[in-house]
Structure 1
Amino acid sequence: MAGQLAVVQRVASSIPARNCLAGTGLLELVFWLGSENYGFYGYGFFPEYPYEIEGGTILVVRGDYPTIEEKQELDEKTLKETKGKTKEQMKEERARLKEEQKMKAQLAKETKRKEDENMVKARCNPFSDPGYQIQESAALPSVNEALIGYRAAWSLFDELPKEKFGETIYGYMKPLLTEDLMKSMHLECRKVIDEMMRLDLKLLIQKHQADFKSMGRKFPKIKPRKKPKAPPVPKPIIYDKKLIKQTAPVFDLNLVTKPTVKLSDVFGDLNYAAYNFNIRDPNATFPFPAYGDIKDRLRLSCVLGCGIQDGATRRKSVMLLGPERNGKQFLVDAVAGELNAIKIDITPEVFTAIVHKPLKVLTQVFLTAKAFQPTVIFMKNVERVFATKVPPEDKYLKAQSLKTALAKQIKQISADDKIIFIGTCSNPWAARAKPMMNIFEEILIVPRTDYGTLSQFLQTKLLNIRSIPRDYCVQSMAQVLRGYSFGDIITAFEEVMTPERLVRLNVTPLSPGEILEVLLQKGLEPMDVVDFQKYVDFSIQYGPLKTERENYAKINLFREDFYKKEAKKKGEKEKGAAANT
């Protein structure tokens, strides 16, 4: 130790006094050596500094670098584990450890499965039902961390006297502004000091080598530490002429639009009765969602889930499943408008049917989406890409050419990209379900029109007409139009409300049968509950709710049987008590 400090002193005397940064780095090194952290790699020799990827020399100054005792303990442990073992034996041991970790993961998975099974069995008996278990939110740790940081940053200023710490500069408190400026200056100077400290270390090692040579000894070769790999950094997009040339075909094909509608323009009422059906015991049921429920889900999954909100569940792709002409495309426009995003339409009619090289243009579409974020990439009737049998009238679309490339491009969307792919589906039974569902992270069912939603829609539409009385009753019209798709209702409404009919409204009031008559003349029929249940069954079969719904059906069956037995026992007891009296 004394010899090393002597070397440091000789090197320090050779550094010019004007080189203050080098002197600062050398003082930090002397302090480090004096604190018994010397001789790190090959004890008795000067240590290596942490690599810049690891944090640089600031780790040494802060004391975050391992001490000599910790290094010795680690080396002894490694030596003990590898003593007397060949490379083949060590390789076999690593493979065995890897296999053990794999078995532990499988065991944990099996334990979790058994716990879930025991929970289902416990819920089958109403008297042993543990009830709902509250789960901790994934965002709770980040909220607690932000709260602790806020208290640590501001609690001190809340307690300090105002006469000393109340002054402000450009709207900022003076101590905060000073600390912020000092921090930025320190980080800038740290880069220079880091470089100077590494040069000082190089001089020290050279002097140490000269001492060995003067004593007639050979300076040992110390193998440097392996430099850690830098974390992958995504390539930034360079906005130049090359990018303009690559994205130009997407704009030339008129695939890009900028919707202006918002989610507030979507009519929809909530299914208020759903909760009462869900808590029925033992006959719990799950009614269809209403338009208001889907509207809220779109805000969570597609707007916040697009990557604009930290902590929200990220969604790269979402499917809107439902009957034809039921407002699915309008919902996509509302999501794009809410995000203030561009919408790129890759529906086969406007994309693969007219593009000479669809795979190349698809790559350009996703490049355009990345360059002009936030972006909504839209495809209508995505089931045609995965069709089991292509009808003769759809062969010109060449939609199946996108099957592999589309899945690959969606997978390459990074977590930081504010891009979401939304596809609509009206006939999922005509496609290979499994590969189609694999590209989507969530399925949202667009419901059939219900009474509450139609009441809101008709109330807004009719009250915009001045000839309609303000107290016009829309309830009867909403009742007779239930089940018809929004697209058909809007078309029929526009056909009925011609200028001539608007003039006659004061004489002949509008009746619900007028719009219904137009729909019947076109041969349109409302979608009943049985037909819509097919969409619900499909989403459950290929969605995450399949196991849960099966468990609920089992629980309902056992609880119903249990209640019947209890009622029978109770009846027998009452009969026995009546007979005794």
Structure 2
Amino acid sequence: MPCDYYFKKWKCTLKNLTKIVELDLEYQETKIHDKQICDAVQRLSGMLGSYILCYNDALDCLQHNLQVQKTEYIANVVEKIVLRILELKHQLTKLEGTPFQFLSNGLIQGKLTPFNTEFFNIPAKYERPEVIQLAIEAAFRRVEELKRAETKSYDNSENDQIPRDGLSENVNWWDDETINATEHKGINVTEVYDVEEKLSEETLKRREIIALIQTHERTRQVVRINTQQKQKREIWEKELKGILKPQAPFDLRERSAKLIQRVLRYYFELKRKRLRDCKRDELLNIKFYDTINTEQPEIDKQVASDYYKLSKKYVQQRDIICSRYKQNYLKKNGDDIAEEFRGYIRDWFQKWYREAKFFYDIPKENQGGPIVIFKEELPSPLEWLDDYKAYLETKKANKNKTALQLKWEKEAGKEEEMMLKREELIKKKSEAALLKKMMKNPTLHPGYHYPFSKKTNNILTAIQNYYNHWSEIDDGEANEAKEKFILNIDEEHLFMETKFEICNSIITDMMEELKLLKNSLKIEYERNEEEIPNPKKEKAKRKKKERKVKAKIRDDLQDILTDLANNGYLKEYPKMNFADFIGDVNYAGADLRCELLSTVPFGGEIRAVWWERCREVIHGFRRILLVGPRESGKTTLVHIMATVNDTALYELDPFKIEVENTNTEYLQELINSVVSCAKITQPSIIHIRYVERLFYTKVPTEEEYKNFDLIKKFFVRKLFKMIKKQDNITIIGICTEPWMTKSKQMIKTFKYVLLLPETNYSTVYLILRNWALNNRTVPHNLDFQSLARVLRGYPFGYIVKKLDNFLTAKRIVHIAAYGLSSRDVYNFFLEDGNDYMINYEKYLKWYNDKTHWGQLENKCLKERREFKIQVQKWNEKMLKKKKNT
């Protein structure tokens, strides 16, 4: 069963995670020391890679977990791992001065590969209410119906315009303004005109597929005939020259045939066994990665959805059984428990009367309710008496002081506290400045200690918490420990919830009794001519309520969503994952950093950073700016974020706004609709295209007809003001020419800037390899290395489009007959005559000069180079001293 597989995998993951945490703690306790920054970075990178591997395994187990009660504990472990991963990333960023981590050198010690450190999913997702999800889907369906109706009416109108006598369109020659009516010769009725046949798209597609099949068959036949002719000619030439080898003896040929038969039979037996195993694993819904299967992602998605539906079904079953259990328990024992609680609170009243001659107030519901009394979180009578005596003494001391004096004393106390904090802060700053000076001095450089962590022990606590609740059950390996739920585990929790409800239900009765007791106590103090204690009323600490997203579902929501989708503002995006952003990791990045050279990230490092941005979508309002050349994968990253978080995607494009609609009324209505719908359908992403147009330093002449200032007022200022910090909305801006903008203003608007990498050799090679695997007509001996070398620098999307357009039916036949060379492919790229090569240096210069991370990285590299020069001078000085002595 698939649950057995993930049950065992989770056990192994916990063991591996425990070993990694123990090693991490050992480094922290021994305060392991590295002399060089490269060694310190390598150690932290190796630890980060190990945690990422455990995170992927733990998250896989969480997403395929069918034991409902375990989900909370597994999710707790995953959350603690994520916090430690983010802490390690922050420590590496602080050490190197860049948000990109190059882990390749650090993974060697742990025997890991960069594939092990790839993030495949985010830890938690926000589930949108079903009503809103149905409204979004209905809007897209409505738009499709409208488009279908429009195309149908358009086809009908075209059919009505066709002349009935079967003549061509040019028969209405008088409608053509370019032809002079006096010179027109009219229509020759004796001439037969050719009528252009109008075919539907389905017929054209079918004919295209049939032509492609015929082409493939002709290609196969041509290749077979050419091969046979070539082999016959070679044999004939050798026979004429007398160099043809004689045939082997019959006995040798017979032995060879038997050996080949034996090997092939064993091979096909293994192949059949493997196919049976794969089929079995597929039926059991167990993932496997042994074979290359283009349909595997679709299978994985289906398996994931099946697991989700099954786990949801088990959760619903558990809720129904638990609610019935609580109702039965209330009917049987509700009155007895309520009376028991009343008796306990009355005893508490008696205790206060005996020891303090006072009655403490029962906490209200927003302060915890009567349950706080049973938890003994309130002060005891003796503690209260001590506090009350201290309060009376301070009151007596402050009796002759004015309100202004008391205020000054309070302010003086606050000022003293602030002074202590300032002194502590100055001390820390001086220590940091001293350490910075020591880091610049070759003789006093302290090296790099392994940083202390506050998150590591939390992982061990989460693991121990899991073992405390589940170790005995897991050791038994009962089916309920792997799937569904165990009712006995929920009994104590259900009892607690039921008792809590009963306890809150008796608060009104006990409040009435407390009022009577307080009145009697007041009469007693008056009779004894004593003053009743009047303690200072302190503000009780109220428990923070969890924030719930309040989004009022408007009556006209369906119409607004349909209108936005119809106009292209609400987008239906293709489903993508992190692997769809193609690009290898920068294997030489760590070595280049050690050589104090500026290093650019590749696709692998961008995916790691984008994982952090994706997990922040459900943590409030975020603003991101993607900078890079055209067709470099910016929209792909937006679709990945939308898919991973299952968000609604809204797209704002300045060029979609027509000139006649560029007015305050239209733009205000558009922004109001987008923001209101984004808040209701959150988590949401608002994708702003061509951001550089909104921040132009000088508008180009050909674009002066657009009122970008007015569009910017609504697309940036109004839009950003209408979204609050707690709204789970992410705004992503896309910029292709940042040097033409007011950079300070743009970077201030978008807090995080991410520069996408150029299309380098490794990326182009991956694209070409995938192209060859997906198209069998492409020969596998094609010189991909040379082709990747000459195509580097072209935009990512441009290369993909050109390769797709390259394989026409005519060219497929040509490849079958004459083969394919890398020169043919490269010439096809040069046919357009346009220069699509990207000058990536302009992007790097802007990023290093204008953005925070670019400036910080340059500063860190400059300081390290200066320190390296100082070390070399000091070494030379010491060598001279040794020679002189």
TM over 0.5: yes
Q: Is the 8 A contact 2:767 2:800 kept in 1?
A: no
Question: What does 1:154-553 correspond to in 2, within 5 Å?
Answer: 154=470, 172-173=485-486, 175-209=488-522, 226=539, 231=544, 233-234=547-548, 236-239=550-553, 241=555, 243-244=557-558, 249-259=563-573, 260-280=575-595, 284-302=596-614, 304-307=615-618, 316-350=622-656, 354=661, 356-391=665-700, 393=703, 395-397=706-708, 398-402=710-714, 403-410=716-723, 412-414=724-726, 418-506=728-816, 507-512=818-823, 514-515=825-826, 518-519=829-830, 521-524=832-835, 526-528=837-839, 530-538=841-849, 541-544=850-853, 546-547=855-856, 549-553=858-862
- In terms of mean alpha carbon deviation, does 195-204 or 52-61 score higher? 195-204
> Could you say which residue in structure 1 is the equivalent of 2:358?
45
CA 1:112–1:343 in structure 2 vs 1: closer, same or farther (change >3 Å)?
farther
Q: Separation in 1 of the partners of 2:658 and 2:403?
A: 56
Q: Secondary structure at the match of 1:241?
A: coil
CA 1:143–1:567 in structure 2 vs 1: closer, same or farther (change >3 Å)?
same
Q: Separation in 1 of the partners of 2:429 and 2:678?
A: 41
CA 1:145–1:200 in structure 2 vs 1: closer, same or farther (change >3 Å)?
farther
Q: Separation in 2 of the partners of 1:181 and 1:95?
A: 50
* Aligned mate of 1:27, from 334, 339, 343: 343
* Aligned mate of 1:131, from 414, 438, 447: 447
Question: How far apart are 1:271 and its partner, in Å?
Answer: 0.4
Tell me which of the two structures has the higher relative contact order, counting C-alpha pairs closer than 8 angstroms and 6 or more residues apart: 2
Q: Is the 8 A contact 1:257 1:344 kept in 2?
A: yes
* Aligned mate of 2:432, from 111, 116, 121: 116
* Aligned mate of 1:149, from 459, 465, 469: 465
CA 1:116–1:464 in structure 2 vs 1: closer, same or farther (change >3 Å)?
same
Q: Secondary structure at the match of 1:443?
A: strand
Task: List gaps (5 residues or longer) in structure 1.
Answer: 1-17, 309-313
Question: How far apart are 1:267 and its partner, in Å?
Answer: 1.2
The normalised TM-score by structure 1 is: 0.79
Q: Separation in 2 of the partners of 1:544 and 1:108?
A: 29
**Residue type of the partner of 1:430?**
M
Question: How far apart are 1:436 and its partner, in Å?
Answer: 2.5
Q: Separation in 2 of the partners of 1:45 and 1:537?
A: 70
Identity over aligned residues, as a percent?
24
Question: How far apart are 1:556 and its partner, in Å?
Answer: 1.8
Q: Is the 8 A contact 2:561 2:570 kept in 1?
A: no
Question: How far apart are 1:400 and its partner, in Å?
Answer: 1.5
Q: Secondary structure at the match of 2:764?
A: helix
**Residue type of the partner of 1:420?**
T
Q: Separation in 1 of the partners of 2:388 and 2:854?
A: 51
Q: Is the 8 A contact 2:442 2:874 kept in 1?
A: no
Question: How far apart are 1:451 and its partner, in Å?
Answer: 0.7
Question: How far apart are 1:571 and its partner, in Å?
Answer: 6.0
Q: Is the 8 A contact 1:291 1:447 kept in 2?
A: yes
- In terms of mean alpha carbon deviation, does 100-109 or 314-323 score higher? 100-109
CA 1:80–1:362 in structure 2 vs 1: closer, same or farther (change >3 Å)?
farther
Question: How far apart are 1:332 and its partner, in Å?
Answer: 1.3
Q: Is the 8 A contact 1:124 1:556 kept in 2?
A: no
Question: How far apart are 1:418 and its partner, in Å?
Answer: 4.5
Q: Which of the pair is proportionally richer in helix?
A: 2
Question: How far apart are 1:270 and its partner, in Å?
Answer: 0.5
Cα displacement string for residues 112-156 of structure 1 (whole angstroms, at most 9, x for unaligned residues): 443333333333345543333434556546534423433443468
Q: Is the 8 A contact 1:326 1:446 kept in 2?
A: yes
Question: How far apart are 1:336 and its partner, in Å?
Answer: 1.6
RMSD of aligned residue pairs (Cα, Å) = 3.9
Q: Separation in 2 of the partners of 1:29 and 1:305?
A: 46
Question: How far apart are 1:471 and its partner, in Å?
Answer: 2.6
Q: Separation in 1 of the partners of 2:756 and 2:466?
A: 42
Question: How far apart are 1:48 and its partner, in Å?
Answer: 1.0
Q: Separation in 2 of the partners of 1:484 and 1:167?
A: 56
Q: Is the 8 A contact 2:362 2:369 kept in 1?
A: yes
Question: How far apart are 1:107 and its partner, in Å?
Answer: 4.5
Q: Secondary structure at the match of 2:610?
A: helix
Cα displacement string for residues 404-454 of structure 1 (whole angstroms, at most 9, x for unaligned residues): 2233245x142xx54322222223333333342234343221011111111
Q: Separation in 2 of the partners of 1:76 and 1:552?
A: 64
Q: Secondary structure at the match of 2:624?
A: strand
Q: Is the 8 A contact 2:786 2:822 kept in 1?
A: no
Cα displacement string for residues 220-277 of structure 1 (whole angstroms, at most 9, x for unaligned residues): 9888655666747455224452554665553443312232122222210110001111
Question: How far apart are 1:494 and its partner, in Å?
Answer: 4.4
CA 1:242–1:25 in structure 2 vs 1: closer, same or farther (change >3 Å)?
farther
CA 1:435–1:396 in structure 2 vs 1: closer, same or farther (change >3 Å)?
closer
Question: How far apart are 1:21 and its partner, in Å?
Answer: 6.7
Q: Secondary structure at the match of 2:782?
A: coil
> Are residues 1:57 and 2:370 paired?
yes
Question: How far apart are 1:316 and its partner, in Å?
Answer: 1.8
Task: List gaps (5 residues or longer) in structure 2.
Answer: 1-333
Q: Separation in 2 of the partners of 1:343 and 1:88?
A: 58
**Residue type of the partner of 1:478?**
A
Cα displacement string for residues 29-51 of structure 1 (whole angstroms, at most 9, x for unaligned residues): 33223444778xxx633221122
Cα displacement string for residues 169-225 of structure 1 (whole angstroms, at most 9, x for unaligned residues): x96556423212212221221221233222221232344456567789998988865
Q: Is the 8 A contact 2:440 2:867 kept in 1?
A: yes
**Residue type of the partner of 1:297?**
V
Q: Secondary structure at the match of 1:421?
A: strand
Q: Separation in 1 of the partners of 2:413 and 2:559?
A: 52
CA 1:209–1:250 in structure 2 vs 1: closer, same or farther (change >3 Å)?
farther
The normalised TM-score by structure 2 is: 0.54
Question: How far apart are 1:63 and its partner, in Å?
Answer: 0.9
Name the larger-Rg structure.
Answer: 2
> Could you say which residue in structure 1 is the equivalent of 2:224?
none
Question: How far apart are 1:456 and its partner, in Å?
Answer: 0.2
Cα displacement string for residues 543-563 of structure 1 (whole angstroms, at most 9, x for unaligned residues): 256446424412321222321
> Could you say which residue in structure 1 is the equivalent of 2:407?
91
CA 1:432–1:528 in structure 2 vs 1: closer, same or farther (change >3 Å)?
closer
- In terms of mean alpha carbon deviation, does 98-107 or 209-218 score higher? 209-218
**Residue type of the partner of 1:502?**
I
Q: Secondary structure at the match of 2:733?
A: strand
CA 1:37–1:497 in structure 2 vs 1: closer, same or farther (change >3 Å)?
farther
CA 1:552–1:375 in structure 2 vs 1: closer, same or farther (change >3 Å)?
same
Aligned residues: 538
Cα displacement string for residues 285-336 of structure 1 (whole angstroms, at most 9, x for unaligned residues): 231001121122212322x23238xxxxx77222212223322112212222
**Residue type of the partner of 1:421?**
I
Question: How far apart are 1:517 and its partner, in Å?
Answer: 6.2
- In terms of mean alpha carbon deviation, does 358-367 or 257-266 score higher? 358-367
CA 1:251–1:114 in structure 2 vs 1: closer, same or farther (change >3 Å)?
farther
CA 1:434–1:79 in structure 2 vs 1: closer, same or farther (change >3 Å)?
farther
**Residue type of the partner of 1:367?**
S
